[in-house]
Structure 1
Amino acid sequence: MVCLTGPPGVGKTQWCLYITTKLLTAARGGVHPSAIYIDTESAVRPERIVEMMTNRYPELSSDIPQLLSRIHMFHPKTAASMLEM
């Protein structure tokens, strides 16, 4: 598990989205990884993930819906609910 913290605007969300797209597109040997994304700031826009995947991996554009289905998003509202996860 990795927890990123920092002030607004330093690129935490961008970095996490980049790592998520790299993970999801790195299927090797029949293994298709999934990602758990805990968004405590409600900063993630699915459109941005699609845009990143389309720009970086145009050859996978028809696979994007299937790739997105392997992202499990959680939006905890409190620290207690995050710890429950």
Structure 2
Amino acid sequence: MAELENIKPDITHDATGTYCPIPITELAKVMRQAKKGQIVELLADDEGAIQDVPAWCETTGNEFLGYKEEDGVYIFYVKKTQD
């Protein structure tokens, strides 16, 4: 897993205040707009996203780089690996 502090996201998307399945549908929408190799930072406060984001990455073939939690907000990093 990449050192999260050193990750420089290309796109940041704030999905705080939403609940399953919205953080994942928002992530999917942003990833469709991202270019291959770009890193998306997703902010979410739904605990379900802790399992949902890595599972979505596995299903779609995108690379889950990890997540951290700051003040009740989960910050996920996903690298687009598919065109």
Which TM bucket (shorter chain)? Answer: 0.3 to 0.5
For normalisation by structure 1, the TM-score amounts to 0.42
Q: In terms of Rg, which structure is larger?
A: 1
For normalisation by structure 2, the TM-score amounts to 0.43
Greater percentage in helix: 1
